[in-house]
Amino acid sequence: MSLTGCKSSSRLQKVFVLVFLPDTPMQARWATPEEKVKFVERVRKNDQGIKQKKFKHDQAKEAFLDPVSWLLVGMILLQTFVVGGLNTFNSLLIKNAFGFSTLDSLLLGIPLAFAQICLYFLLGWVGTKTKQTCLTMVGATVVNIAGTIVLLTVPPGPKTKVGLLVSFYFMQAFQAVGPSMFSMTSRNVAGQTKKSIVYAMFCK
């Protein structure tokens, strides 16, 4: 098959997925009723559930009383504090704390954004490969702590500003923990109502 044919086939596959991929197992027109039951049972076994429009008061109460919900919310809250500081003040840090010029700080922000994107993919790949989401998150947090220690202990100066900048780049690993936290919530919170409330607490 030619390269043009491969590209055309790839586009057709994407269109097919967007148009014909069902939102829920029960909407799969190509599946038999027996297959739909198996699909739903498989999802229910993983505590994922399917779309549920009915608000369940018992699940809402459980969302606020379950310690796991508050641990997950506390985790994303603390991560947001750190990430907010890193994102908001990165140019000021590069310029004022490390000693780079205004133009250099703007230019050095470009690879910083690229590094963040790469870290998102890297942590997702490591978590999928090892099947250890928590340990992957811990590893990224340790990298951030190591970079923080360097920034706190090494005095800024002409000879150290490059090393401080590299340490600051390493600290961006903590930003990539966010998607893993949402993944943990999806896997560890059962019930559509409860899950919706916990996600709302995440984004409050």
The pLDDT of residue 2 is 45
Instruction: Choose among 108, 102, 118: nearest CA to 168.
Output: 108
Sign of the dihedral defined by the CA atoms of residues 149, 151, 152, 156, in that order = positive
The pLDDT of residue 1 is 45
The pLDDT of residue 90 is 75
* Spatial contact of 53 and 42, defined as CB atoms under 8 Å apart: no
The pLDDT of residue 22 is 62
Reading the block at residue 167, the tokens are: 């340490």
Reading the block at residue 26, the tokens are: 């029960």
pTM above 0.95, yes or no: no
The pLDDT of residue 98 is 75
Q: Indicate the residue type of 104.
A: D
Sign of the dihedral defined by the CA atoms of residues 50, 53, 58, 62, in that order = positive
* Spatial contact of 151 and 168, defined as CB atoms under 8 Å apart: yes
Tally Cβ neighbours within 10 Å of residue 154. Answer: 13
The pLDDT of residue 52 is 61
Tally Cβ neighbours within 10 Å of residue 54. Answer: 6
Q: Which stretches in the chain have pLDDT values below 70?
A: 1-30, 39-53, 203-204
Q: What is the pLDDT of residues 165-185, one digit of tens each?
A: 888 888 888 778 877 887 777
The pLDDT of residue 3 is 42
Mark residue 99 as left, alpha or beta (left: phi above 0; alpha: psi -120 to 50; beta: remaining). left
Reading the block at residue 117, the tokens are: 């994107």
Delimit the domains of the chain by residue range. Answer: 3-45, 57-202
- Sole residue written with tokens 């907010």: 84
Whole-number Å distance between alpha carbons of 197 and 63: 7
